[in-house]
Amino acid sequence: MSSPSKLYEESGKIKISVRLGKRLENISKDALAEPEEFWAEQAKSLVWSKEWDKVLDWHPPFAKWFTGGKLNASVNCLDRHIKTDIKNKAAIIWEGENGETRTLSYFQLYKEVNKFANVLKKLNVSKGDRVTIYMPMLPELPIAMLGCARIGAVHSVVFSGFSAQALQDRINDAQSKIVITADGGVRKGKLIELKKVVDESLPFVPSVEHVIVLKRAGNDVMLGSKDHWWNELMEGAKPYCTPVQVESTHPLYILYTSGTTGKPKGVIHGTGGYLTHVYATAKWVFDFGSQDIFFCTADIGWVTGHSYIVYAPLMHGATEIMYEGAADFPKPDRYWAIVEKHGATILYTTPTALRMYMKYGDEIPNSFDLSSLRLLGTVGEPINPEVWMWYFKTIGKERCPIVDTWWQTETGGIMLSMCTGIETIPMKPGSATFPVPGVDAVVVDEKGKTVPAGTKGYIVVRRPWPGMLLTLWGDDEKYRQVYWSKFAGMYYPGDYALNDQDGYLWLLGRADDVLKVAGHRLGTMELESAFVSHKAIAEAAVAGRPDSTKGEAIIAFLVPKEGYAKSENLRKEVVAHIRSTLGSIATPDEVYFVSKLPKTRSGKIMRRLLKSIASGDKIGDVTTLEDGAAIDEVKQAYEDLKNVVES
């Protein structure tokens, strides 16, 4: 590959601030010099019923933060506000897919959470018990989570798009006593029969004693012997529940990862460390002010929703928008319509949603008033520079900084991002910039040695941080093996990255998604971004196929933008474009046009499936695949082309 790569050349073009990050540099330097003091200082922003004795108890690879300290997560999100002016402020502005809206003030949310905690208590749930929550994006979902937290129960939220098998696996893994669901959910105008899915799993989940069912869809459901209506239980519930003050290291929740690279893992987060991390990062990255209206588009079924819809914004007393439905329903304009309608000031979304909107052109977003926005954010995948530019210009009108936040379910909160609450630094489209203060992340080579600027390697974290997972549920050995065995003493996230001459970090995709072509290591991200920089291409996914001469051959699956036909000409044009942007080494061996790519339900491209198809291997776990039709289409496209080539 020609070096520096295209991604790298993009750097430094956008400068919206002349400051060069001195403030950030100083804070980060001090934080890493005395990390325990630094994090203890952050932890003081929380409400503790008992202060900790020790900041960090580090028995690698197990970290315990703020040992001896006691607190309650729901007190930190709610009780702390109800004696202040925030009491009557909107906590959640909820919008249903059908346009219906509901607003809950902090006081209203507080009352509901207290009542629900009492409901759980009455059903014999106590500290440490697990509760599976399988609900649509309704305010009752955070109410259920905070209700669990109030009594020290551990929630395990399962994304409401999952099938009975996926739900059953997660209930059994966590051995949950209670399942909370709804009579139905709504997605793209269609009813999702959640209760039916629960009923299907029920015979196979013996740990479950009770099922709580919220009325949402007006769907006719049968109540069995374990079932209770949410509203009936709430009617008799007392309005106040004394919070259970738990140890700082008490598990707050279990959450399964997206399954992009394999079988999902049950990540456990503690209470004090986790809350400290998400509180601090929200302050640094989003810089919430009293006028802000925060719109995080994630589903609460994923970690972004846990950390930056439920815990961090509520601890900060922020007002946030919670949206129930699909990004493109009824039209591919829904996020813009919501920004305009509710006056969102911060939008936090994903590259996959942006690529979808971009496919339909500028006219749609241009027809909305987006002037309330002051800050844009992205998470979930590397953002292609082309998409970043579109977000910056068309959505942010070149006014709003973009925070590209890199982190994982396992990290609990943001690890790399520009921190606008500290200072806005010059941005580089596609770079997540720097580690947040107190996080010791660097790029290393195969041997674990820090690499010089411009060299690709693996991102690692050299010291524990407060949001770090406690372990994997019931599997300390797997925890050790997945995250701590590749490099001695360093946490291994499994992502490929590089550090540029200015010290900016660039995430280059999954380490196991790297292609080795004729001795060169090519990041999937760089290749895909080069495809997406062609005017006709909306989305791209590349995979490698074993090749006897080159090691690996590059196979590309491309989704053309609206108005561009899939043709032989386009294929040639795209290949020429790749050769001119990345060099001949990156020439794809096969290019397939498809209408959609196989994605996880959290919207990430599942490259491992493409790789399996291209190499003729068995396709592994697909329980988290969003749309089975996408994989059929890819298989078909592959078969068709093979036939053409062979005949």
d(CA 353, CA 22): 34
Please report how close the Cβ of residue 407 comes to ligand ATP at its closest, in angstroms.
6
Judged by CB under 6 A, which of 105, 260, 276, 424 binds ligand ATP?
Answer: 260
Residue 83 neighbours by CB under 8 Å, 6+ apart: none
Give the C-alpha distances (Å, rounded to integers) separating 357 from 72, 352, 391, 394, 556: 40, 9, 10, 11, 22
Q: Which two tokens stand for residue 95?
A: 């919008």
What stretch of H or E contains 109? helix 106-122
433 binds, among ligand ATP, Mg ion, none (CB under 5 to 8 A by kind): none
DSSP string for 173-211: HHT-SEEEEES-EEETTEEE-HHHHHHHHGGG-TT--EE
Q: Which two tokens stand for residue 138?
A: 């309704």
d(CA 366, CA 336): 9
380 binds, among Mg ion, ligand ATP, none (CB under 5 to 8 A by kind): ligand ATP
Span near ligand ATP by CB under 6 A; candidates 319-327, 363-371, 402-410, 627-635: 402-410
Please report how close the Cβ of residue 493 comes to ligand ATP at its closest, in angstroms.
5
Q: Does position 350 bind ligand ATP by CB under 6 A?
A: no
Q: Taking CB under 6 A as the rule, which mask of x and - marks residues 169-188 in contact with ligand ATP?
A: --------------------
Q: Are strands 210-214 and 178-182 parallel, antiparallel or unpaired?
A: parallel
Q: Does position 408 bind ligand ATP by CB under 6 A?
A: yes
Q: Which two tokens stand for residue 185?
A: 């959910």
Q: Does position 325 bind ligand ATP by CB under 6 A?
A: no
Contact 295, 95 (CB under 8 A): no
Beta bridge partners of 456: 498
Give residue for tokens 């601090």: 280
Span near ligand ATP by CB under 6 A; candidates 393-401, 406-414, 541-549, 612-620: 406-414
Binders of ligand ATP among residues 485 to 514 (CB under 6 A) are 493, 495, 507, 510
Span near ligand ATP by CB under 6 A; candidates 167-175, 255-263, 284-292, 363-371: 255-263
d(CA 388, CA 456): 21
604 binds, among Mg ion, ligand ATP, none (CB under 5 to 8 A by kind): ligand ATP
Q: Does position 297 bind ligand ATP by CB under 6 A?
A: no
Contact 4, 454 (CB under 8 A): yes
Q: Does position 432 bind ligand ATP by CB under 6 A?
A: yes
Of 90 and 387, which has the nearer Cβ to ligand ATP?
Answer: 387
Q: Does position 405 bind ligand ATP by CB under 6 A?
A: yes
Q: Shortest Cβ contact with Mg ion: which residue?
A: 257
Judged by CB under 6 A, which of 258, 271, 276, 420 binds ligand ATP?
Answer: 258
DSSP string for 433-470: BSBPTT--EEEE-TTSPBPPTT-EEEEEE-S--TT---
Please report how close the Cβ of residue 376 comes to ligand ATP at its closest, in angstroms.
13
Q: Taking CB under 5 A as the rule, which mask of x and - marks residues 244-273 in contact with Mg ion?
A: -------------x----------------
Q: Does position 386 bind ligand ATP by CB under 6 A?
A: no
406 binds, among ligand ATP, Mg ion, none (CB under 5 to 8 A by kind): ligand ATP
Please report how close the Cβ of residue 608 comes to ligand ATP at its closest, in angstroms.
9
Q: Which two tokens stand for residue 74?
A: 């729901």
b/e for 323-337, b at 16 or more Cβ within 10 A?
bbbbbbbeebbbbbb
d(CA 272, CA 233): 31
Of 587 and 623, which has the nearer Cβ to ligand ATP?
Answer: 623
C-alpha torsion sign, points 97, 98, 103, 109:
negative
Q: Is 59 exposed, middle or buried (0-12, 13-18, 19+ CB in 10 A)?
A: exposed
Give the C-alpha distances (Å, rounded to integers) separating 20 from 11, 16, 398, 402: 14, 11, 19, 16
Please report how close the Cβ of residue 472 comes to Mg ion at its closest, in angstroms.
12
Local structure of residue 45 (DSSP, 8 states)? T
461 binds, among Mg ion, ligand ATP, none (CB under 5 to 8 A by kind): none
Q: Does position 528 bind ligand ATP by CB under 6 A?
A: no
Which one, of 533, 595, 539, lies nearest residue 565 by Cα?
595
Q: Does position 404 bind ligand ATP by CB under 6 A?
A: yes
Of 5 and 319, which has the nearer Cβ to ligand ATP?
Answer: 5
544 binds, among Mg ion, ligand ATP, none (CB under 5 to 8 A by kind): none
Q: Which two tokens stand for residue 303?
A: 């970690």
Please report how close the Cβ of residue 115 comes to ligand ATP at its closest, in angstroms.
32
Residues making contact with ligand ATP (CB under 6 A): 257-262, 264, 302-303, 379-382, 404-409, 432, 493, 495, 507, 510, 602, 604
